[in-house]
């Protein structure tokens, strides 16, 4: 069965009536509708009926509005203190990386489909750039003389043993090419990564004994300037990550301080009152069996109990706040990226104003575009990039933006899901890019994009001590969406909040 829609329902253990399926297919946003149906069916019912589809499609239906365009979630404003705007916090899902896999796909074929989609999508971005004149296909360039541009995927990177030059093997749809990047040339200052897509300026020589020489590199990157939407009222979002609920090292007191702050019971209650969104960048719970002897570190050993506890903790937040969360590598979904949202039997334990989306996801909060990615890709990029470290994840995030990809390398520590479309490409370009996973706190800006690595609510575990990771826990990034100014809140002790930093 290779119908992705049926596969999607199957992955959520739901059976769809035949004529319900026809109705879903003819809807403007079949996948969004399917997700709403799975939610509507809840954990108990294995069936999706035609009546359920009709109830969602009815223009003034009793359950909710029709799925027009990107999914639109609006929550009732339950408190008057939500800020000067009378509207409810607005969350619009713009892009979910996850796509359900058909059950019987040939994995090899599927990966080749994934890579050709990646190549096509990133070449489209590069083709619009001015730095690649005389663009040719690899297959048409053999035996020619002169300088040409190529768009290619890097397949292999070697260093020559004598002179330490770099030899790249690159590939496009028309062929494969070896090219030399001379040692010390400015083009190797930023190292190449396997499976990234780059634009290259290459000098060819008719002499067969000489390799073509790379004279310039252009990455897809994010544009320097672009149109951005900013809300015209005072609205803020708090970014946190890596709660690891269920771990013995979960920082319960620090969490209570965050809750008190958001309930306007801490310092600067007038600022706290304008927080309308909380974003959590994955590792919501500690999970089970994630690393050797993890059970010694667990306070809650049952995965359902961990999510029930997560639900209890999140319901402590004021009801005016819309929570958006994505899973991470500790959560109870497939570790292959993109990861799906939580299955309904777990999502139902985290009810209330909480929206759990796949990892990664791109959504807008009151019009400001956010890409949230847990950050497993760091595990491959940090060892591959000289000078990169878990202490400075925002440096790696800049590189993700410049290659417009969150985790390109196949066959490393980040398992990639063989989807027909590459869900790890960064598109659209966000205003805020948030990750977790590194258990540190980082904030930086790149071409107008606010980069955040959103700390953790877990103290150091024995396992991290062994791997030499020292966390920077209990920090929350408070962002004023009106101008992207940032304030770092430290809930690890009794430190008062630092002043807001400008959007420069």
Q: List residues binding Fe ion (CB under 5 A).
A: 242, 283, 328-329, 437
Q: What is the largest CA-CA distance in the chain?
A: 76
Angle 18-25/30-41 helices, nearest 10 degrees?
140
Q: CB-wise, 88 or 284, nearer to Fe ion?
A: 284
Among 430, 338, 403, which Cα is nearest to 122's? 403
d(CA 303, CA 342): 12
Q: CB-wise, 34 or 455, nearer to Fe ion?
A: 455
Closest approach of Fe ion to the CB of residue 303, in Å: 16
Q: CB-wise, 282 or 344, nearer to Fe ion?
A: 282
Among 18, 24, 40, which Cα is nearest to 344's? 40
State the residue number with the nearest CB to Fe ion: 283
Q: CB-wise, 67 or 327, nearer to Fe ion?
A: 327
Closest approach of Fe ion to the CB of residue 499, in Å: 29
Closest approach of Fe ion to the CB of residue 243, in Å: 9
Q: What element of type H or E holds 362?
A: strand 361-365
Strand, coil or helix: what is 322?
strand
Strand, coil or helix: what is 93?
strand
Give the chain's end-to-end CA distance (angstroms, integer).
Answer: 52
Q: Which residues pair with 275 in a beta bridge?
A: 236
Closest approach of Fe ion to the CB of residue 470, in Å: 14
d(CA 405, CA 427): 9
Q: CB-wise, 291 or 410, nearer to Fe ion?
A: 291
CA angle 48, 53, 59 (to 5 degrees): 160
Place of tokens 């304030």: 487
Closest approach of Fe ion to the CB of residue 463, in Å: 11
User: What are the phi and psi torsion angles at 214 (to 5°)?
Assistant: -75, 125
Closest approach of Fe ion to the CB of residue 327, in Å: 10
Q: CB-wise, 306 or 364, nearer to Fe ion?
A: 306
Closest approach of Fe ion to the CB of residue 439, in Å: 6
Strand, coil or helix: what is 271?
helix
Q: How far are the Cα atoms of 154, 329, 418, 463 from residue 303, in angstroms, in the given order?
A: 40, 14, 27, 20
Q: CB-wise, 363 or 373, nearer to Fe ion?
A: 373
Instruction: Tokens for 464, please give them.
Output: 């991290």
DSSP string for 78-92: --TTS-S--SPPEEE
Please return the burial class of 98, using the count of CB atoms within 10 Å of its CB with bins 0-12, 13-18 and 19+. Answer: buried
Q: CB-wise, 36 or 329, nearer to Fe ion?
A: 329
User: What are the phi and psi torsion angles at 145 (to 5°)?
Assistant: -115, 140
Q: CB-wise, 91 or 454, nearer to Fe ion?
A: 454
d(CA 39, CA 225): 39
Place of tokens 């001590």: 465
Closest approach of Fe ion to the CB of residue 371, in Å: 17
d(CA 192, CA 175): 19
Closest approach of Fe ion to the CB of residue 132, in Å: 37
Please count the CA atoms within 13 angstroms of the CA of 396 that sit on its side-chain side. 31
Closest approach of Fe ion to the CB of residue 49, in Å: 38
d(CA 322, CA 54): 27
Q: CB-wise, 7 or 393, nearer to Fe ion?
A: 393
Closest approach of Fe ion to the CB of residue 328, in Å: 4
Q: CB-wise, 329 or 355, nearer to Fe ion?
A: 329
Q: CB-wise, 353 or 461, nearer to Fe ion?
A: 461
Closest approach of Fe ion to the CB of residue 486, in Å: 22
Place of tokens 């949202």: 341
């Amino acid at each position: 069965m290779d119908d992705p829609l049926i596969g999607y329902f199957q992955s959520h253990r739901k059976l769809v009536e035949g004529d319900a399926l026809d109705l879903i297919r003819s809807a403007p946003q079949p996948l969004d509708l399917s997700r709403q149906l799975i939610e509507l069916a809840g954990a108990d019912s294995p069936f999706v009926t035609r009546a359920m589809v009709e109830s969602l499609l009815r223009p003034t239906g009793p359950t909710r509005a029709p799925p027009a365009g990107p999914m639109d979630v609006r929550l009732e404003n339950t408190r008057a203190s939500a800020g000067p705007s009378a509207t409810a916090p607005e969350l619009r899902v713009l892009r979910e990386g996850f796509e359900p896999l058909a059950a019987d796909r040939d994995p090899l074929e599927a990966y080749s489909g994934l890579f050709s989609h990646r190549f096509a999508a990133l070449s489209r971005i590069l083709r619009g750039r001015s730095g690649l004149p005389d663009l040719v296909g690899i297959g048409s360039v053999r035996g020619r003389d002169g300088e040409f541009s190529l768009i290619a995927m890097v397949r292999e990177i070697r260093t020559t043993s004598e002179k330490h030059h770099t030899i790249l093997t690159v590939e496009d749809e028309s062929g494969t090419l070896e090219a030399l990047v001379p040692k010390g040339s400015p083009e190797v200052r930023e190292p190449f990564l396997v499976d990234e897509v780059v634009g290259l300026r290459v000098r060819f020589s008719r002499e067969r004994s000489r390799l073509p020489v790379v004279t310039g590199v252009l990455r897809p990157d994010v544009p320097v300037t672009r149109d951005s939407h900013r809300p015209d009222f005072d609205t803020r979002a708090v970014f946190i990550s890596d709660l690891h609920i269920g771990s013995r090292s979960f920082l319960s007191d620090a969490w209570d301080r965050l809750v008190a702050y958001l309930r306007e019971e801490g310092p600067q209650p007038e600022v706290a009152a304008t927080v309308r969104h909380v974003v959590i960048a994955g590792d919501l719970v500690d999970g089970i069996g994630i690393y050797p002897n993890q059970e010694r570190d667990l306070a809650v050993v049952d995965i359902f109990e961990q999510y029930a506890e997560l639900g209890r903790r999140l319901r402590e937040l004021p009801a005016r706040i819309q929570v958006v969360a994505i899973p991470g590598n500790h959560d109870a979904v497939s570790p292959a990226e993109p990861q799906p949202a939580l299955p309904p039997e777990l999502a139902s334990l985290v009810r209330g104003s909480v929206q759990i989306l796949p990892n990664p996801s791109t959504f807008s909060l009151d019009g400001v575009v956010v890409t949230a990615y847990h950050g497993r890709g760091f595990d491959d990029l940090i060892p591959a990039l000289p000078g990169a470290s878990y202490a400075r994840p925002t440096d790696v995030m800049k590189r993700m933006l410049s290659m417009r990809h969150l985790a390109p390398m196949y066959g490393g520590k980040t398992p990639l899901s063989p989807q027909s479309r590459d869900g790890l490409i960064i598109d659209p370009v966000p205003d805020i890019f948030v990750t977790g996973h590194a258990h540190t706190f980082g904030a930086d800006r790149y071409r107008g994009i606010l980069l955040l690595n959103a700390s953790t609510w877990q103290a150091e575990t024995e396992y991290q001590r062994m791997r030499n990771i020292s966390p920077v826990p209990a920090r929350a990034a408070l962002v004023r969406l009106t101008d992207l100014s940032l304030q770092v809140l430290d809930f690890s002790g009794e430190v008062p909040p630092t002043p807001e930093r400008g959007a420069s």
